[in-house]
Structure 1
Amino acid sequence: MALKPIRLTRIDETHRDSHTRLCADDHCLFLYEKTSGRDYTFSKSNNLISNLKKPVTSNANVLSYKRNAISKCAADLRASLRPEWLRIATLVPIPPSKAPSDPAYDNRMEQVCRLIVDGQDVRNLVIQNTTMVANHARGTADRVTVEELLAVYSIDESLANPAPNVIGIVDDMLTAGTHYRAMHTVLSDRFPDATIIGIFVARRIFPDD
């Protein structure tokens, strides 16, 4: 049975202990919950995220699962976001861990954003030209920090005009909230008058949750 879209849920005080890098006034929304430490067979949302994150260097059969997951995420977000908000918003995907010159560069979230609504304002406003180890490939004690991301994030000034009024930072997974916090910092410094929210396909939960 297909995974049914649900309404976007806002991160509030009942969730915040799981996303320790978020600030109290961060406005972040998610669709699904992915259980940490469980594989793709555990739940439909675990399966969706697993397929979405399949490496771009995989074989054609595996990549077909990835393409289906990209389409699914876009359709579910489109069904959950208000059309009137989408008409005024600029969607900004969080950069992947690999630099654009890396053969493993994976712009899956840009693809999701561009599929949400044809003609939607999608901009890679924040660029990361240095390849970093993805968080899911790091040890628990070696997770990337906000400061490390701020050191490699920059605004692509060629895409900065017109200045966005409403920004939706879009990513597949909300874990600690590190990438979102770094993105928010860079974007709010450059566009201080913009309203910024975070939109996530899923948030990480633990089995005991």
Structure 2
Amino acid sequence: MRAIRDVAAAIRLNLMPEALATTLFVPIPSSKGPTHPDFDPRMLQIAQGIGQPARAAELIKAIGDRPAFHENNEPRDPVVLMQQLQVSTSPLPPTSERIILIDDMITTGCSYRACKNLLEAQYPDVPVFGLFVARRILPNPFAAFDIHDAPC
């Protein structure tokens, strides 16, 4: 729970207060539904933890369970994933000037593209952005790269 609070606080601290009031945070849905033992509600908890005046909503839900992308080698296709998701038909809060999709990792961008496409089709006048939370920090592959040694 501490990590969830820390991430929500970091998001809150790094956005302008006036932007928070007009932003709707939407978690990218877990690959498992709420009744599955591997269901992961952390992205929703982070979105809700950002707090007022920001708002959070589960606008996209999975239709059934599916294999997590990081657990299989199947090709990732946003069009196929879109068929496994359902977008809300509810109107957005009137102050929603932008939607920020939140996910815990970006590998290929498939989930983000699928969710962004669904939201843009349902709410065409509201821009959709992505925010991705890293669970761990990987070594920088360019740390030893010296720009002065690069060929021109």
Band the TM-score falls in, shorter-chain normalisation? 0.7 to 0.9
1:188-207 matches, cutoff 5 A = 188-202=120-134
Runs of 4+ in 1 over 2 A off after TM superposition: 159-165, 202-209
Q: Which residue of 2 aligns with 1:174?
A: 106
* Residues in 1 aligned to 2:122 and 2:44: alpha-carbon distance in whole angstroms: 21
* SS of structure 2 residue aligned to 1:77: helix
Q: Which residue of 1 aligns with 2:21?
A: 87
Q: Which residue of 2 aligns with 1:111?
A: 45
**TM-score scaled by structure 2?**
0.81
User: Which residue, out of 51, 69, 78, partners 1:146?
Assistant: 78
* Residues in 1 aligned to 2:97 and 2:8: alpha-carbon distance in whole angstroms: 22
User: Which residue, out of 74, 86, 111, partners 2:8?
Assistant: 74
1:120 counterpart = 2:54: yes
- Kindly indicate which of the two structures has a greater share of residues assigned to helix: 1
Amino acid at match of 2:112: Y
Deviations, residues 111-153 of structure 1 (Å, cap 9, x unaligned): 00111124531110111121111112123xx243212211111
**The structure with more radius of gyration:** 2
Instruction: Identify unmatched segments of 5+ residues in structure 1.
Output: 1-66
**TM-score scaled by structure 1?**
0.60
Aligned residues: CA RMSD: 2.2
